[in-house]
């Protein structure tokens, strides 16, 4: 069992908690995720790592209530326990393996939409700890739905935008990106975009226009987290990949977002899952990621 602390609601339907999991925390890196179970009968769901404290042995999770499991998770109080937490899983951000001196020469931009602020934070924090500056665009529909503004401001040059103009820049994250490049003379070598699928799609289209290398995190389409269910199957260029075992980060200019979004909707129904399995055959799942059965 894994004890919960600092459990609270950040904004409507978005919650955070720390979980005592020393063995997970000892190995996790920015960009990775964990799989949790609330209770013995509960389903397994993947959640991205927002932060970790190796001294305390705690991992910080941020999540949105979208179904039964996340609703049960939101009801946990300080001192309660999770049945299980497994990880870290997925591949760490490519930034981790890039020489620090090379990173210091780069102009790096993060685009965080909604709950995407959570997985952006550990990457920006890691860069700050290694003496690398970065810019972050933090966007939401309204001021009331913004999360992690203060934390991101501590580790980056932060630009806040709201779709309705209730706070910060008036417009979507792509409009803020265009303003930074066209009106403020910003030049970027790399953009990392994390958030809703539609946001990442249009961010990638915008950065492609400016010739900015772009990485996106496909964690929104993950279901099982081990490659066995086939839920996060997607095309990256001409290759079939699985977000959980091959990612979750991929070249945003190679992702077929329309296919991924349509497929994600089909996967929500039993009939849709059966049809996808029939159509995709042996490439329907990616194995466990450890046994050599990856498609």
pLDDT at 75 over 60: yes
So where are the chain's domains?
2-89, 94-217
E-state strands within the chain: 2-11, 14-20, 33-37, 45-53, 58-64, 81-82, 84-89, 108-113, 135-140, 157-162, 169-170, 190-194, 213-217, 233-236, 239-242, 249-251
Picking from 45, 52, 5, the residue whose alpha carbon sits closest to that of residue 226 is 45
Q: Does residue 292 have a pLDDT over 80?
A: no
Of residues 184 and 277, more confidently modeled: 184
212 φ/ψ sector (left φ>0, alpha ψ -120 to 50, else beta)? beta
Cβ–Cβ under 8 Å, residues 179 and 159: no
Mean pLDDT of the region 131-153? 96
Give the pairing type, strands 169-170 and 14-20: unpaired
Note the pLDDT of residue 247. 77
Q: Is the pLDDT of residue 284 over 60?
A: yes
**Using alpha carbons only, how large is the chain's radius of gyration in Å?**
19
Q: Please state the length of the chain.
A: 295
Burial class (CB in 10 A: 0-12, 13-18, 19+), 21: buried
The CATH code for residues 94-217 is: 3.40.50.80
The CATH code belonging to domain 2-89 is 2.40.30.10
Q: What is the DSSP letter of 227?
A: S
User: Is it true that the peptide bond before 16 is cis, omega within 30 degrees of 0?
Assistant: no
Separation of alpha carbons 80 and 73, rounded Å: 10
pLDDT given for residue 152 in this prediction: 98
- Inter-CA distances, 27 with 1, 88, 146, 270, Å: 19, 7, 30, 36
Residues 6+ apart with CB under 8 A from 183: none
Please tell me whether residue 172 adopts helix, strand or coil conformation.
coil
Q: Over 50: is that where the pLDDT of 93 sits?
A: yes
The values of phi and psi at residue 234, to 5°, are -155, 165
- Work out the mean pLDDT of the chain and round it to a whole number: 88
Residue 270 has pLDDT above 60, yes or no: no
Question: If you average pLDDT over residues 160-188, what whole number do you get?
Answer: 96
* Closest listed residue to residue 263, CA positions, set 238, 243, 292: 243
Best CA proximity match to 195, nearest among 140, 264, 268: 140
Least confident of 23-32, 113-122, 180-189, 262-271: 262-271
pLDDT > 70: what percent of the chain? 86
Residue 280 has pLDDT above 70, yes or no: no
How high is the pLDDT of residue 266?
A: 54
State the Cα–Cα distance between residues 294 and 286, nearest whole angstrom.
4
pLDDT at res. 42: 82
In the predicted structure, residue 104 carries a pLDDT above the cut 80: yes
pLDDT for 295: 34
Q: Residue 274, Cβ neighbours under 10 Å: how many?
A: 11
Q: What is the reported pLDDT for 67?
A: 85
Tens digits of residue pLDDT in 10-57: 999 999 999 999 999 999 999 999 999 998 888 888 899 999 999 999
Segment 152-178 shows an average pLDDT of 96
List, for residues 229-267, the tens digit of each pLDDT value. 666 778 888 888 887 888 789 999 999 888 887 766 654
Mean pLDDT of 86-113: 95
For residue 294, name the pLDDT band (cuts at 50, 70, 90).
very low
């Amino acid at each position: 069992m894994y004890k919960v602390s600092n459990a609270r609601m950040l904004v409507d339907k978005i919650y955070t908690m720390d979980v005592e999991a020393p063995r997970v925390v000892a190995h996790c890196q920015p960009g990775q995720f964990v799989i949790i179970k609330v209770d013995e009968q509960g389903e397994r769901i993947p959640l991205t790592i927002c932060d970790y404290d190796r001294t305390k042995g705690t991992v910080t999770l941020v999540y949105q209530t979208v179904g039964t499991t996340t609703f049960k998770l939101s009801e946990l109080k300080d001192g309660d326990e999770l049945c299980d937490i497994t990880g870290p899983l997925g591949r760490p951000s490519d930034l981790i393996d890039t020489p620090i001196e090379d990173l210091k020469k780069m102009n790096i931009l993060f685009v965080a939409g909604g709950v995407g602020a959570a997985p952006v934070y550990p990457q920006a924090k890691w860069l700050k700890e290694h003496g690398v500056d970065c810019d972050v665009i933090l966007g939401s529909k309204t001021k009331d739905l913004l999360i992690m503004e203060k934390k991101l401001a501590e580790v980056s040059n932060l630009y806040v935008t709201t779709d309705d103009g209730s706070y910060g820049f008036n417009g979507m994250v792509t409009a803020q990106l265009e303003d930074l490049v066209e009106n403020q003379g910003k030049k970027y070598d790399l953009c990392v975009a994390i958030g809703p699928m539609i946001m990442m799609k249009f961010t990638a289209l915008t950065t492609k226009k400016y010739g900015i290398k772009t990485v996106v995190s496909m964690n929104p389409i993950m279901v099982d987290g081990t490659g066995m269910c086939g839920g996060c199957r997607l095309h990256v260029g001409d290759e079939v990949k699985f977000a959980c075992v091959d990612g979750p980060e991929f070249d945003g200019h190679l992702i077929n977002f329309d296919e991924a979004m349509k497929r994600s909707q089909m996967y929500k129904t039993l009939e849709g899952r059966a049809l996808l399995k029939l159509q995709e055959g042996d490439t329907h799942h990616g194995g466990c990621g450890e046994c050599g059965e990856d498609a």
